[in-house]
Structure 1
Amino acid sequence: MPRLSTVAFRVRNQNPYLSWYMHSTQTKHVYDILHYLPEHPTRILEIGCGMGTTTDVLAYEVKPRAGHVDALDPAPQTYVCPLEHYVQSREKFYPLPYNLGDHQHCVSTRNPTSVTFHNTDAIQFLDDDANKDKKWDLAVLWHSVFYFESLDVLKATLVKLKGKVKRVLIVEYALRPTLKYAMAHLFATMLRGAVGEMRQKKGLDTQGHLTCMVTPDKIKKTLNAAGWKLEKEADVIPDEELIDGDCETTWALGDAFQKELDELGEGGTSSKKEEALRALKNATLAELVADDRRKISR
């Protein structure tokens, strides 16, 4: 496996869209977790790939073995994720935020034979006749479980994967902060999850919202119900430079998110629920320690 500094340097010099700082910390986080794999996969199915940050590292992992990554995400190509807004607001080195299509195109350009992006969800992809005979060594759900429509959809996806992949790797937040500074991240995630669920119930747009925020125990029970056996489990504490927590907190406290929260009251949301959400937002703000923002992912 190449040294991390080599991978990070490669990303810095070949990716015009994402900041060097964000991509290098994300890359390290991905490699830290990939070390838990029992063997080196050749064919990977990534479910919920987003803009392709993890896809890029997975492609680098399989490339020496002439491997391939099929990366799936149903979000529109014009979607701009909170992390992109965060990077733009912090660094201001390009005039407009780049969207999902821009990022995926960049990853595809660097990995023309190792990556194929598919604008679809896993169930539709696996049901397609063109993919009925395909098999993969590994399915990866990298911080994508929270964005599933429901636990039932997650279970249906895992059932579909039986016989198509050898193993499933799920990486998701444990909702258990390891440092005091991470409480702000936990509260922000809970706030986003509560708002996402309420918007879903009211039939409002949930693009980019957390609509299936579940604990590790729930995920394990869903895996078991889908016929999978747990082989290995580990808690991975990210490097304090990882900016996910800062991004989540910044987004949850921002004007755009406040507008989406306010929309919930227009259809008669009970005052108790509204007050609970605002209390959660206040708790996020109260826990945020400005001098230790980089530690809140932990």
Structure 2
Amino acid sequence: MVEPSAKAKELSEIFLDSNLGGLDHRINLTKFWGITPGSRVLELGCGQGDCTTVLADAVGPDGHIDAVDPGAPDYGAPYTLAQCQSHLLAGPLGPRINFHNTDPAAFLSTRPSSAKPYDFVVLAHCIWYFETPAILSEIISALAGHTTRLCLAEWGLRANRAETLPHVVTALLLANIEAKRLTPSTRNVRSVLSPQQIVSNVLEKGTFALVEETRGKSGDTLQDGYWEVSDLLRNREKFLDRMKRDGVSNKEIGALVAMFDSVQAGVDIIGGDVKDVKTMDWWAGRPPHPVPRGPSRSPLHSEAWVDMNAPNSSNGTVAIVGSGLTGLLAAQGLKLNGIPAVVFEREESLDARPREWTILVHWAMPIFAKLVPEHILANLSEALCNPHLDFNDEIESLPCYNGITGDLLFSSSTPGARRVNRRQLRRLLAQGIDIRWNKSVRELSQTSSGVRLEFKDGGTFDADHILGADGSSSKVREILLGVEQAQARQSGFLFATGVTKFGDADKTDAVVQAHPVAALMMGASAVGAVGVMSVDDPNDTSTWTTFWVKIWHGDPVDLKGQEALNYIKENTAPLRGIFQSAIDWTPEGSYVSINEMKYWVPTPWNNHGGRVTLAGDAAHPMLIYRGQGFQHSITDVNNYVNALTQLRSSGSDAASREMIFEAYDSEMIERGAVAVQQSLTEAENSLDLERIKKMLMMRQGHGKDA
């Protein structure tokens, strides 16, 4: 067993509760964070003051600690908060410390705006104490302007050996119990957040970006694992009795009992003595201060938190052209990985254009989930066309009806798929993103250190990289390839859509009867589709908004409103059943449009040494068949984020940049070209009943590998 350090022994004489293992751990964290003499530090969630003691020693006589905790003065054992804090203030470190018995957010909100920012803000092993996970987000928001350096530490939910596994399971079990209580407790473990969740909470606000983070093995002298596990097992029946009194179902209690048994089994495996339980691994993040060198340095791999708005940031900015779904998703994915991005959009606002349509997110949904912060994923229901459905195999399918007989032709399984309202999803993805409106790109050029966007209004923007995500008529693509080579091609297929609110439950029910989400009709001279766009009152279908689609081969037209609706009725062959009725029932004033679908088979472009590339419809605009376009856009974004992350870890030299983005471009061009060609073939086959049998949609469904 490692002996406690001399410093831990020295500080244990000052701190009332002489937990040498805990003090040593916090000494190493303080070295890792780079807390320097003379620093002004705000510690949130200070508790009895063990970390406060170490911080006060680190800042020296010229530094200062404001230590904040909302806990009751009589909370804690074997010594209360009041006892420990009073003892500290009366000792040699007392003049360096002010304790504040208040809520952290309240403390920050009442701090004078003229007050000098703190050199560091520390949250050390306090996040799990929070009553709800939302408190961390509130604190991160409240910290804006109060510091540029955020230091974090929490248990890492990782068991590196059998002795630590009971502690991990205990933490998860306590979090489950807390979540089921009718009233919150005041226990040590309430909101168990993983390191990934903490990172997401910090990054989603856009104030701090992750530069470095680390994990480490807890020393054998740390007692937290033993304390938590022994307390849990000792009070097992009290916990379960509380769950019963709070009305928790027998099924849920059964699951909790199994977790209690798992904790006990973990103790049994290591010999049956709970005193042999060890503390799980820890996790931490630090600001970019030099870590002390030499023998006293903790053996940590250091990473950090740094204010994105601080001058001389080492993070290179990405300029994204286009605020469609691809551009906004790229901005979120980059932000989640600590890479700052600015989006430039030629429109004046999110709602500048009235166009509305739905998109099915299917095989790329797991990739999408990795690219957005947890709060967006948690609120994804806001963008679903109908979030009130009980999703099952039937709901997660897309039926296709015979355009001649009206019978079911086939049903394409789409497990895990969700149909989203594009406008609502765009609004969700825009949260927390720096979008510059009314910025039309005129030209781009290389500079000595990166690339420059030039706008029609005369402005410029310098960046490390440019991502063209500006749609099928991409200006960035045109600049990279020239007007003629970049021109999107006419397909000859017309796409018409209408967004309808009938105000009539019977009409809406007729749409839903075809399928609760969306349904297709093929095999005649046109393709039809109907579905649900949005739901106001789930119990009153007369309040629902629906949509219809019609696709045919013909002369190109570009029409809107009543003129478009009249053209469809007068110049295209009718569909069958609800697929035609939905068009006929379209109320006056509804949104209706007709456009020719265009495509472009991607070819290599000049990526300016790996600094400029494309994604989404800017790279491979395709026809809508099999809903592949957005899936490939999501894949592009994921690959782009991974490429920049790889570049950052390789040192960002020119040779690495060229190699990494040559690989990104080549893979996307090959994959995109296949998808574009497949969409054209699908369109040709969809208008003939015999040729439908050749469609990938019928033979292989919506999957990625078709």
- TM interval, shorter chain, is 0.7 to 0.9
- Contact (CA 8 Å) 2:67, 2:100: kept in 1 or not? yes
User: Which stretch shifts more, 66-75 or 40-49?
Assistant: 40-49
Which residue pairs with 1:26 in the alignment? 22
TM-score of the pair, normalised by structure 1: 0.84
Secondary structure of 2:212's match? Answer: coil
Q: Does structure 1 residue 102 correspond to structure 2 residue 98? A: no
Q: Does structure 1 residue 226 correspond to structure 2 residue 205? A: yes
Distance apart, 1:129 and its partner CA: 4.6
2-side partners of 1:104 and 1:281: how far apart? 35
Residue by residue over 1:224-269, the C-alpha shift from the partner in whole angstroms, topping out at 9 and shown as x without a partner, is 11221012100121212211111111111123x6424421211321
Distance apart, 1:134 and its partner CA: 4.2
Residue by residue over 1:108-137, the C-alpha shift from the partner in whole angstroms, topping out at 9 and shown as x without a partner, is 222221111111121100111557624211
Match of 1:269 among 228, 248, 258: 248
Instruction: Tell me which amino acid in the other structure corresponds to 1:126.
Output: L
Instruction: Tell me which amino acid in the other structure corresponds to 2:73.
Output: Q
- Contact (CA 8 Å) 1:193, 1:210: kept in 2 or not? yes
Specify every segment of 5 or more residues in structure 2 that has no aligned partner in the other structure, as ranges: 281-706
1-side partners of 2:245 and 2:274: how far apart? 37
1-side partners of 2:163 and 2:69: how far apart? 32
Structure of higher RCO (CA pairs closer than 8 Å, 6+ residues apart)? 1
Which residue pairs with 1:281 in the alignment? 260
1-side partners of 2:274 and 2:104: how far apart? 38
Return closer, same or farther for 1:112/1:39 CA change in 2, 3 Å cut-off.
closer
2-side partners of 1:208 and 1:271: how far apart? 24
Distance apart, 1:151 and its partner CA: 2.8
Residue by residue over 1:154-203, the C-alpha shift from the partner in whole angstroms, topping out at 9 and shown as x without a partner, is 1121111122112111101111111111111111111111112222xx1x
Show the 5 A alignment for 1:169-188: 169-188=151-170
Which residue pairs with 2:178 in the alignment? 196
1-side partners of 2:202 and 2:140: how far apart? 7
Specify every segment of 5 or more residues in structure 1 that has no aligned partner in the other structure, as ranges: 85-96
Show the 5 A alignment for 1:1-298: 5-15=5-15, 17-18=16-17, 20=18, 23-38=19-34, 40=36, 42-64=39-61, 66-80=62-76, 84=77, 97-110=78-91, 111-130=93-112, 133-199=115-181, 202=182, 204-227=183-206, 228-255=208-235, 258-288=237-267, 289=270, 290=272, 293-294=275-276, 296-298=278-280
1-side partners of 2:98 and 2:44: how far apart? 12
Distance apart, 1:98 and its partner CA: 2.5
Structure with higher Rg: it is 2
TM-score of the pair, normalised by structure 2: 0.37
Distance apart, 1:10 and its partner CA: 2.3
1-side partners of 2:237 and 2:113: how far apart? 42
Aligned residues: 271
Residue by residue over 1:268-289, the C-alpha shift from the partner in whole angstroms, topping out at 9 and shown as x without a partner, is 2101111111211111111113
Instruction: Tell me which amino acid in the other structure corresponds to 1:195.
Output: I
Identity %: 27
- Contact (CA 8 Å) 2:164, 2:225: kept in 1 or not? yes
Return closer, same or farther for 1:176/1:9 CA change in 2, 3 Å cut-off.
closer
- Contact (CA 8 Å) 2:166, 2:229: kept in 1 or not? yes
Distance apart, 1:220 and its partner CA: 0.8
Secondary structure of 1:113's match? Answer: helix
2-side partners of 1:161 and 1:221: how far apart? 16
- Contact (CA 8 Å) 1:156, 1:226: kept in 2 or not? no
2-side partners of 1:51 and 1:39: how far apart? 20
Return closer, same or farther for 1:251/1:271 CA change in 2, 3 Å cut-off.
same
Return closer, same or farther for 1:182/1:225 CA change in 2, 3 Å cut-off.
same
Task: Please identify which structure carries the higher strand content.
Answer: 2
- Contact (CA 8 Å) 2:167, 2:277: kept in 1 or not? no
Secondary structure of 2:148's match? Answer: strand
- Contact (CA 8 Å) 2:30, 2:54: kept in 1 or not? no
- Contact (CA 8 Å) 2:69, 2:101: kept in 1 or not? yes
Task: Please identify which structure carries the higher helix content.
Answer: 1
